[in-house]
A and B are shown apart, each in its own frame.
Chain A
Amino acid sequence: NAGVTQTPKFRVLKTGQSMTLLCAQDMNHEYMYWYRQDPGMGLRLIHYSVGEGTTAKGEVPDGYNVSRLKKQNFLLGLESAAPSQTSVYFCASSFSPGTLYGYTFGSGTRLTVV
């Protein structure tokens, strides 16, 4: 099993450009999450989904949009990238929120906005 796969792994954007980060999981998990990780700060939740067709805002949602049209995929969009969105983005999935088995994370997307 591949687990959680994120694409792309690296990307450089110019300010104002848009892009979509793709997350795919093959574990039939209901719950999916997008986090960002910045130096000196803990992982922060951007958006999450509790099932196909649902999305909700996390701790730092501004500047991002998400969609979950299929259960196995969770997309994170940046409509107009800003330097403050330079970060490492992680997707995660789980059977249920805060579970005995924790979250399964992808390997991350390193995004630089110049």
Chain B
Amino acid sequence: EDQVTQSPEALRLQEGESSSLNCSYTVSGLRGLFWYRQDPGKGPEFLFTLYSAGEEKEKERLKATLTKKESFLHITAPKPEDSATYLCAVQGGSGTYKYIFGTGTRLKVLA
């Protein structure tokens, strides 16, 4: 069964304190792994797509990496405006339109 597990559930960081969020997945034939940011009361906002192990993508203070079993979202020197819930999703080969979303990591960056 396709599955996505994100950890930790919640994370509190001081401004400037770098850390990583984890997304472990089990899927038949990975087509893509996706990271989204969700602010309270809003819909998810697309950040990255990763397609194969070893691939990396960067955007400002965020860097996403992918292995055969997990993905990491590295946050370097975070700022309070990085506070949000970060969602991971995978798309497997069993269903073209089926994303499996994780439950997210709630990140709080303190000034």
Contacts and interface: CB of A to CB of B under 8 A. Distances in A.
B49 A107 contact: no
B44 interface: yes
Interface residues of A, number: 28
Contacts of B71: none
Given A31-B97, A100-B49, A108 B41 contact: yes
Nearest to A91: B43
Interface string B76-111: 000000000001010100001111111110000000
Interface residues of B, number: 25
B43 A92 contact: yes
B34 interface: yes
B46 A102 contact: yes
Contacts of A45: 97-99
Secondary structure dominating the interface of B: strand
Contact of A97 (B4, B43, B97): B97
Contacts of B55: none
Nearest to A105: B43
Contacts of B102: 42
A4 B100 contact: no
B69 interface: no
Contacts of B58: none
Contacts of A103: 44, 46, 99
Interface of B: 4, 31-32, 34, 36, 41-47, 49, 87, 89, 91, 96-104
23 contacts: A40-B103, A42-B101, A42-B102, A42-B103, A43-B44, A43-B89, A44-B101, A45-B97, A45-B98, A56-B97, A90-B44, A97-B91, A98-B32, A98-B34, A98-B49, A98-B97, A99-B49, A101-B46, A102-B46, A103-B44, A103-B46, A107-B41, A108-B43
Given A45-B97, A102-B36, A105-B45, 11 more contacts: A42-B87, A43-B89, A45-B98, A45-B99, A56-B97, A59-B98, A98-B91, A101-B49, A102-B47, A102-B49, A107-B42
